[in-house]
A and B are shown apart, each in its own frame.
Chain A
Amino acid sequence: MKKILLIIFYLFAFNNSLYAIVEVDITRGNLDPLPIAVSPLYIEPGSEDITQNGKIIKNIGEEIAKVIEKNFKRSGLFNPLKKESFVQNPDVAHIKPRFEDWRLIKAQALVTGKVTISEDKLRAEFRLWDVVAAKEMVALAFSTTPDNWRRVAHIISDKIYQRLTGEEGYFDTRIIYVSETGEKTQRVKKLAIMDQDGANIKYLTLGNELVLTPRFSPKNQLVTYLSYFKNLPRVYLLDIETGVQEVVGDFPGMTFAPRFSPNGEKIIMSFAKDGNSDIYTMNLKDRVVEKITDHTSIDTSPSYSPDGKYICFNSDRSGLQQIYVMRSDGSQVKRITFGKGLYGTPVWSPRGDLIAFTKVHKGKFFIGVMRPDGSGERLLTENFYQEAPSWSPNGRVLVFYRETKTDSDGKGFSTKLWSIDLTGYNERLIKTETDGSDPSWSSLLSK
């Protein structure tokens, strides 16, 4: 009897193992960009044409779709499919896509939309569809004046990017930079601003004075930059929205790279006092200047961590230029780079997980990233001369500038803006009207 009971007990007790589920680990996949179909936005019949800069834009729906496609292509994360392969018309697709048709061309996501223009108002709506699951993922509509159509395209791109990647987009942003024209020895430098895709370039200064290192505030549309007035360095504050600019202060000796604190209330910079360069902060409300480092070496290029608790900077206190991290009050200074070569221009990522830097080794310039403790150094790009990385607001892409060599006749010198993402494979030239240097990426305009 006991034996029978024991057998029954064991049968039930170990029954679970008989039902053990089969587990299979999938550790590999396809790393190609996601195939996405961006159908031209359907224009509601009776809509007016748009006139911009004296030009009539007839098919605004197609133009918006083109901007979205280019954004996706540049991101390196998506592969916009060719329109020639689309089977379904934009108007029908926006109401109810025939998913089988879109699956045929290997699309995994589909964007459809509609534009209405009447009484000087543009209304654009879009839908993002999961083609494989045959369901809608996002649907939003925006209304504005017709000349804002490019921004609408960027905002739509951001919403789609966010839904498909899980992180914030960076398309509805701008880049401020120093526009350069003329010979290498007599460069005319102006402050210029453009959309992140290189469109809508506008010049903010006339080029009478030398301008350097413009930096966007992470909180709003304020820019701080350095300009020389009567051969003295001056730090300016410029409100991009209103165009109002003011002098923050005249600083003695060599002054470098003013940059905002994460809350936008302070600027941090380095300048030389009594022949020694240290790091200082200035409170923008009361203009009180506070000394952060006090060392006989040259301390420059400070940048705050996004939580404002730490500062990274470069210093030659070890004999060679290296990157250091300290608390924001100047305490607990710690060297984080020990590799071969010189390290400079550290910039903390808006996500806080990485620090971007410029490295010089064996006569070559590298743009790279590392963790805030100095581990995990990765060099993303190498060239003859390149520096000044600046992060996109989502911390995925870096913009920087690159110089080309002058040939034996003294010609061929140029400075261009480039972008590269964290993978290091997606490197792209940002086309500008003139040469450009010292770029700085804004935060999201529509945040």
Chain B
Amino acid sequence: MNRSIFLSLAFHSIMIVLTALSLPFMMKSPIDVPPILTIDLIQITDKTSIPFAAKASKILEKLKKEEEKRIVSQQAPPSEKKKEKPDRIALPDDLNKEKKKIVKKKQNPKEVKDEIRQASEFEKKELFDPSQIAALIDKSKEDNAETLKKNNKLTQNSVKNAFSNALTLSQEDALKAQIFGCWSLPLGLPYQKNLMVKIKLKLKPDGTVLRSEILDHARMNQPGQGFYKVLAESALRAIRICQPLRVPPTGYEKWKDLQLNFDANEMLKG
């Protein structure tokens, strides 16, 4: 009797552990774009009045007097919002209007587009992983081997896709063609850098985006990676412009989680 209870307990424990390890939602999920931060303020000295060389001494004195000409930069005040009606007790009609609005939002699929998720500061901290940064730095060092590696990745992807049988080649091509047209590549990107942004999407059955996450988000905060934020934003913009995405009418369970790998290297290297 005791033996059976013990065995039952042991097997149940194993089952729980295996389930926890294999369920996707138990995995650590990366996060989305951070809220946009305003850039540092600048100090501008008076360098506009270019004196004629021969009159240098007079102009020096003049410059001292013109101290107040300095340009001062400051943070612009927050955007003014239109004044709302003065506070008053809501009338029953108002309450009804509000209710109606809420109902409308739920029914209108277009309203759902704005649900592309912004990550909180708390989530960002969670994502920080030094080992991942090291991996990324190593990756950025790679030069010519990049193309070869990419080809390998493609093969792996196709194997993965074939295994899951989520998209046929023509379906994948249709999706690619749609996004090609929406993606405006930032033209100021540096050469010889790792210009790949991976974005994980959670899709609705009609192809609209429920949630988007940038997978290697930590790169944005690294020094010298300012271009990466620009690239990631351009990719997110492309997804927003394109949605609803051209997804197959069937097999939602297979493609509801989709990863788009935006790679600018190939285009820039031409």
Interface residues of A (CB under 8 A from B): 5, 8-9, 12-13, 15-35, 76-77, 95-96, 108, 125-127, 130, 132-145, 148, 151-152, 155, 159, 161-167, 193, 200, 202-206, 221, 238, 240-245, 351, 353, 396, 422-423, 445-446
Contact = CB atoms under 8 A, between A and B. Distances in A.
11 contacts: A22-B166, A24-B176, A25-B261, A27-B267, A29-B262, A29-B264, A31-B187, A138-B38, A140-B39, A166-B188, A245-B56
A412 to B, nearest CB: 32
Interface centre among A136, A137, A140, A200 (most CB of B within 10 A): A140
Contacts of B254: 22
Contacts, number: 255
Nearest to A148: B48
B73 interface: yes
Contacts of A221: 47
A19 B160 CA distance: 10
Interface of B: 11, 15, 18-19, 21-24, 36, 38-39, 41-44, 47-48, 50-56, 59-60, 63, 68-77, 79-82, 114, 116, 153-154, 157, 160-161, 163-164, 166-167, 172, 175-176, 179-192, 200, 226-231, 233, 235-238, 240-241, 254-255, 257-264, 266-267
Contacts of B263: 25-27
A371 B52 CA distance: 40
A24 B259 contact: yes
B172 A24 contact: yes
Contacts of B231: 166
A15 B22 contact: yes
A28 B180 contact: yes
Contacts of A130: 36, 233, 237
Contacts of A202: 50, 52
Nearest to B186: A165
Majority-rule SS of A interface residues = mixed
Given A28-B266, A144-B69, 16 more contacts: A12-B15, A12-B19, A22-B167, A24-B167, A24-B258, A25-B176, A29-B267, A32-B184, A34-B186, A95-B79, A155-B71, A164-B188, A165-B189, A202-B50, A238-B53, A423-B187
A29 B183 contact: yes
B33 to A, nearest CB: 9
